[in-house]
Amino acid sequence: MEMTVNELKRRLDLQEPVQIIDVREQLEFHTFNIGGENIPLGNLLAEVDDLEFDKNLELVVVCQRGIRSETARRVLSGNGFTNVMNLSGGLLAWRKLFYKSINE
């Protein structure tokens, strides 16, 4: 299951409750992020049973392009998380949308 950049941005702009996990490495996260919790993919895979997220609330997983986050989505879904979405196109798509709107 995927969520588009437009949908996530709309929901964040409306301050709707959305749990976000960013599975990029810490350096990537600190360079640019949209909030949420930074749990690098390797850590998430090793600690999936210890995550303190509500397994029934919507959870959006993000990374640079959407590949690592899709892996994380599958792992989370296989471990009892019932509503996990992958950010389609990742943060590259987010930045493209954001910078496009600035330049218009």
- On the question of pLDDT at 8 being above 80, the answer is yes
> Within 10 A of 101 (CB to CB), how many other CB atoms are there?
9
CATH 3.30.300.30 fits 2-103, yes or no: no
* Whole-angstrom distance, CA of residue 39 vs CA of residue 53: 12
Model pTM above 0.75: yes
Task: Note the pLDDT of residue 99.
Answer: 73
pLDDT of residue 17: 87
Domain definitions of the chain by residue range: 2-103
For 75-104, what is each residue's pLDDT tens digit? 999 999 999 999 999 999 999 987 765 544
What is the Cα–Cα distance from 63 to 74, expressed in whole angstroms? 14
Q: Tokens 């009892």 label which residue?
A: 80
Helix, strand or coil, per DSSP, at residue 61: strand
